[in-house]
Amino acid sequence: MVDDPRGLPRAMFDAAVGAALPQHRIPAFLPPPPKGRTVVVGAGKASAAMAQAVEAHWPDPLSGLVVTRYGHAVPCTRIEVVEASHPVPDASGYQATQRMLDLVQGLGPDDLVLALISGGGSALLSLPAPGLTLAGKQVVNTALLRSGAAIGEMNIVRKHLSAIKGGRLAAAAHPAQVLTLVISDVPGDDPSVIASGPTVPDSSTFAEACAVLDKYRITEPLAAVEYLRRAADETPKPGDPRLAHDAVETTALLCRP
């Protein structure tokens, strides 16, 4: 028998939130320390809290960088936390994303990249593909947000205008081992959609990205539209050896209700 029926829903909600907190979910999924270096990278509204949980339970040296939304930073001592704009990207996210790519390059097979990914990461990982500008990405992102496009449609476009999304982060880290810990905020909990899947093979195409822009009548900026139509540098696809399962693994810590 419940003594306080009106308090039960609140108690259930608090218990569910508490069970989902990164400090409770992260420890069980951490791998053994590698022979080489451990580099932590990440993006999303929960990425700083995830980084804090990693630091608290990682026995060996590590370093890294995560980018989170303004107001979502928490104290970390070994992993740098950068705040940036969401849902429209800004220069802080742009600079942090470039530094993140730099951190994972030049690693070897004995090194580990621990990627901490959560909702909101797509806007925070704002480094555009070569030849494009942050201003152009901001225009496209704003148009997509206003269009009513589904998150999956938006992220198809974002992946193909990005230097890091759609598996490109994992490709840049090759031949290091990559383990991605994901907290989902999208229907279906597809890791390739969450934060536009920076460490996950991408089955979408430039043609599909163009179809999304056509569907919602997005025609500006011209440089971004023309880049998509040229389709010169596809995202890493399933079967890409740089993202082979024995080297790149994704674990979902918590999926949305």
Is residue 69's pLDDT more than 70?
yes
Helix (H) or strand (E) holding 38: strand 38-43
- CB distance 41 to 65 below 8 Å: yes
Q: pLDDT digits over 168-185, tens only?
A: 999 999 999 999 999 987
DSSP label of 21: S
Q: What average pLDDT does the segment 37-41 reach? A: 98
Write down all domains in the chain, each with its CATH number in brackets: 35-254 (3.40.50.10180)
* Distance from the Cα of residue 169 to its chain's centroid: 9
Q: Is 33 exposed, middle or buried (0-12, 13-18, 19+ CB in 10 A)?
A: middle
* Whole-angstrom distance, CA of residue 111 vs CA of residue 238: 23
Q: How far is CA 251 from CA 24, 31, 118, 180, in A?
A: 15, 11, 12, 6
CB-based contacts of 255, cutoff 8 Å, min separation 6: 184, 189
Q: Look at residue 201 and give its three-state secondary structure.
A: coil
- CB distance 168 to 238 below 8 Å: no
Query: Helix, strand, coil: what percent of the chain each, to 5?
Result: 40, 15, 45
* Distance from the Cα of residue 180 to its chain's centroid: 9
Place of tokens 């995830």: 50
Q: What average pLDDT does the segment 147-153 reach? A: 93
Q: Look at residue 180 and give its three-state secondary structure.
A: strand
pTM comes to 0.91
Q: pLDDT digits over 187-203, tens only?
A: 788 899 899 999 999 99
